[in-house]
Structure 1
Amino acid sequence: MIRALIIDDEPKNIRVLKNLVEQFCPQVKICGEAENAETAIRLIKELHPGLVFLDIEMPYGNAFDMLDKLMPVDFEIIFITAFDEYTLKAFKYSALDYLLKPVNIEELKEAVEKAEKRIQHKDTNQQLNNLLYNLKKNNTTLQKIALPFKESLLFVPVNNITRCEASSGYCNVFTSDGQKFLGTKTIKEYEEMLPPDVFFRIHNSHLINLTYVRKYLKGRGGLVEMEDGVMIEVASRRKEEFLARFGYR
């Protein structure tokens, strides 16, 4: 049984989420509730929960201010948010779960199941550090992305990713040091996450970092040679836009 806390400044939201958890997540027991950061910190230290449902917006600050005071943490977190697109992208980069208000039952069940698995691997502090690092950046280009590595997550600088290749609903991610990771997201999801001024989808199955392009070979669509020598076909419908990225029309 996973002991859990709900932290939200709206009592109604706490009641709704508590009812949903009790109905649809039998592996979770709600052992405490808090409506502000001060109470939340005290309960976390007293009750030692395995999981915290954490609303981002809190009185006199936000959830990230509170987490800064608690780091390192020994519990899993599922964020509850109605936050902007940049913040949601930060969560995806960090492989942390969030639920959008109003909470969807299936998404809640899936997030709890994933948290249950993460409890076994204890990746939370690495993921939180990466999330807080990305959120503190002044620009909208996130800096590091979480990639699965053996029994852990590796946080890779975005500019070290050379290309992504679709693979049976997943995606192989290649880095400049020659490593290859099987990402758990689709190539479309990586395309949405990675900065569009640097990454370009040259084919349904290929997303490339333009800074690692070495040569273009002409043809109907043509071929791109990457810095590591890999040759990748350019879809004919993407050829014109691809060449325009390099000032060639």
Structure 2
Amino acid sequence: MIRTVLIDDEIDSIRVLQKLLESFCPEVSIVGTADGVETAATLIRSVSPDLALLDIEMVGGNAFDLLNQLQPIDFKVIFVTAFDDYALRAFKYSAVDYLLKPIDIDDLRTAIARVSSTPVVTSFDQQLKMLMKNLEGFQQAQQKIAIPTITGLVFVPFQDIVRFEGRGGYTNIYLSGGELIVATRAIKEYEEMLPESVFFRVHNSQIINLHKMQRYNKGRGGEVVMEDGSVIEVASRRRDEFLRRLMK
């Protein structure tokens, strides 16, 4: 069983989440609830849960205030949020689990299944710091993305990424210094989370950093030459949109 605490300043939200977990996630055992930073800190210290589902806003502060009190974190965390698209990108960049209100049953099942199949991430404190930085609204070039690999997570600034190359369920990520990172995530997932003002999918298997282009050569679709010397074909069906993006 996954011993779980629910933290939310809205009692109705706790009741809804509790009912969903009881109905659809039998592997979860709810061992306590709280509505604020202090009550949650006391609860977590007393019951030592395996998992905490945390609303961002709570009585006496927010989820980050709570987690800062409890470091180092020795339990798994799923944030529950009603944040907008920009904030959700910050969660994705940091490889932090989250659920969007109102909670979708399939999303809940997926999140719980992921928690039950993975060990506690020892780098969570670092992920938390990165998430807080990204949420502060740093410029996209200064933000970092957490890249899952077969050995763990690699944290890379956007400004260091030249391009993404899809390889089935994996993605090769090429960096400015010549380093190659093989990510255990499909390229489509990166397309959905990357900032459109910086990255563009020029081909089914290629996403490029527009800031790392050196030139564009005309052709049926054309091709781009990146700063690392790589030459990337632009799919003909993507050419017009790509050129429009360059003109912005």
Aligning the two structures, in what range does the TM-score lie when normalised by the shorter sequence? 0.7 to 0.9
SS of the equivalent of 1:4 reads strand
- 2:209 alignment partner in structure 1: 209
Amino acid paired to 1:89: R
- 2:36 alignment partner in structure 1: 36
Q: Deviations over 1:25-76 (max 9, x none)?
A: 2332111110111100111112111100111121343222322333331111
Q: Give the distance between the partners of 1:83 and 1:137, measured in 2 at CA.
A: 13
Amino acid paired to 2:20: L
- 2:116 alignment partner in structure 1: 116
Q: Is the 8 A contact 1:75 1:124 kept in 2?
A: no
> Any gaps of 5 or more consecutive residues in structure 2?
none
Q: Is the 8 A contact 1:147 1:183 kept in 2?
A: yes
Q: Which shifted more, 172-181 or 35-44? A: 172-181
Query: Residue 118 and residue 179 in structure 1: after superposition, are their counterparts in 2 closer, same or farther (change >3 A)?
Result: farther
- 1:225 alignment partner in structure 2: 225
Q: Is the 8 A contact 1:164 1:208 kept in 2?
A: yes
- 1:173 alignment partner in structure 2: 173
Q: Give the distance between the partners of 1:120 and 1:98, measured in 2 at CA.
A: 16
CA RMSD of aligned residues (A): 2.5
SS of the equivalent of 2:118 reads helix
Query: Residue 235 and residue 108 in structure 1: after superposition, are their counterparts in 2 closer, same or farther (change >3 A)?
Result: same
> Any gaps of 5 or more consecutive residues in structure 1?
none
Q: Which shifted more, 148-157 or 238-247? A: 238-247
Amino acid paired to 2:116: E
How far apart are 1:108 and its partner, in Å?
1.2
Query: Residue 46 and residue 193 in structure 1: after superposition, are their counterparts in 2 closer, same or farther (change >3 A)?
Result: same
Q: Give the distance between the partners of 1:10 and 1:141, measured in 2 at CA.
A: 36
SS of the equivalent of 1:229 reads coil
Q: Give the distance between the partners of 2:153 and 2:188, measured in 1 at CA.
A: 21
Percentage of pairs with the same residue: 52
Amino acid paired to 1:153: L
Query: Residue 100 and residue 142 in structure 1: after superposition, are their counterparts in 2 closer, same or farther (change >3 A)?
Result: farther
Q: Give the distance between the partners of 1:111 and 1:247, measured in 2 at CA.
A: 40
Q: Is the 8 A contact 1:76 1:118 kept in 2?
A: no
Amino acid paired to 2:193: M
- 2:61 alignment partner in structure 1: 61
- 1:6 alignment partner in structure 2: 6
How far apart are 1:149 and its partner, in Å?
2.9
Q: Give the distance between the partners of 1:226 and 1:140, measured in 2 at CA.
A: 20
Aligned residue pairs, count: 248
